Amino acid sequence: MVREEEEESRSDEGVFYALDLGGTNFRVLRVQLGGKAGGVVHQEFTEASIPPALMGGTSDALFNYIAEKLANFVAAEEEQKFHQPPGRQRELGFTFSFPVMQTSINSGTLIRWTKGFSISDAVGQDVVAELTKALQRKGVEMPVAALVNDTIGTLAGGRYTNKDVAVAVILGTGTNAAYVERAQAIPKWHGPLPKSGEMVINMEWGNFRSLHLPLMEYDHAMDVESLNPGEQISEEAAFFGDEVHAKLKISFILRTPDMSAMHHDTSSDLRVVGQKLKDVLEISNTSLKKSRIVVKLCNIVTARGARLAAAGVLGILKKMGRDSLKDPQKTVVAMDGGLYEHYAEYRGCLENTLRELVGEETASSIVVEHSNDGSGIGAALLTASHSLYLKDKS
């Protein structure tokens, strides 16, 4: 849970960096903030993939790789665009989208890995401390001022420019959601109420368990093959698009980008489908009839995942009392993540399903927006609001 006034702070200016590790890819951003009036003046980013060997290697190897990419990005900063107030170091916000026990705004212990990672010596360690040591090894002097997950970052980034943003959803390698709740409606909160009367709830809905969640034999088969059997069941079900187990002998060989490319094939002979089957599965000379069946399978799997995600969004809207016209307030749902951004068929199905679930009238007050780089920008904003220099002033 996050106090809303902390999430909204616009009390600083300068250059802030954000490192966004949310799955198999990560981004590094730099943001020039212009204070209360200036907002985000400039922003730049670079991204890289995590080599598969590092996803199952050591903590030092992973964080050294990340720190090196950050060091290269920092070295390329242009003085003409980015200006830091005199006497101040640049600070870093760390978006780390894995289960952690957060002990302060800039520290948290890794509970377990998800999303294909399995680095045993990092479990139980403070991920900020691990990153800080790697930065020092690479000669980067940049303190980590805030540790957040991508969902909270997306919500913070969205609300910075649009107060109607009330829900944030990540749909990428993994999935999660966060929303703004009335503090009085949170039974677990026993502290003083925030001035705004609202708090942010991080749901971790990827690990949602319910007898009502429709699991099929393929879900159970995929769960057994995963790195964390019995964990992140909802996440696995929603992203069943990563593989079609009934047709494949090798688990996890068909990735979402491959499936998306086949699903979006508009050529008359479905040549993209045929090429993907050849390149990925070594199946040659696929007939047009079989290629059409593959596209139909892609559609079935995509629709299931998208409709499950839409049902989750509806659940949040119901909890907030915004699933009907009784509350005509505009509600913006900020979406981020590679699956939502790049998979047009998935995105369209999710939005159509949500419209179907709430009805056309209510749908007019609900806006689903892509929050590009939302989690990274949000991390930079939260870094600014928790700057070590602000603490010095106080």
pTM for this entry: 0.76
The C-alpha atoms of residue 173 and residue 239 are separated, in whole angstroms, by 8
What would the pLDDT profile of 22-34 be if each residue is shown by its tens digit?
A: 788 888 999 888 7
| Mean pLDDT along residues 241-251 | 51
pLDDT classification of 325: cutoffs 50, 70, 90: confident
Window from 2-11, 167-176, 296-305, 375-384 with minimum mean pLDDT: 2-11
pLDDT of res. 43: 86
pLDDT classification of 2: cutoffs 50, 70, 90: low
pLDDT of res. 10: 43
| Mean pLDDT along residues 278-299 | 90
* Of 85 and 208, the one with more pLDDT: 85
Mean pLDDT estimate for the chain: 84
- Answer whether residue 83 shows pLDDT above 60: yes
In terms of DSSP bridges, do strands 331-336 and 165-171 run parallel, antiparallel, or are they unpaired?
Answer: parallel
What would the pLDDT profile of 91-120 be if each residue is shown by its tens digit?
A: 999 999 888 998 888 999 999 998 889 999
| Mean pLDDT along residues 258-267 | 94
pLDDT of res. 324: 83
pLDDT > 70 fraction of the chain, expressed in percent and rounded: 84
| Mean pLDDT along residues 175-180 | 92
pLDDT of res. 194: 79
pLDDT classification of 244: cutoffs 50, 70, 90: very low
| Mean pLDDT along residues 118-129 | 96
What would the pLDDT profile of 339-365 be if each residue is shown by its tens digit?
A: 999 999 999 999 999 999 999 999 999
pLDDT of res. 1: 56
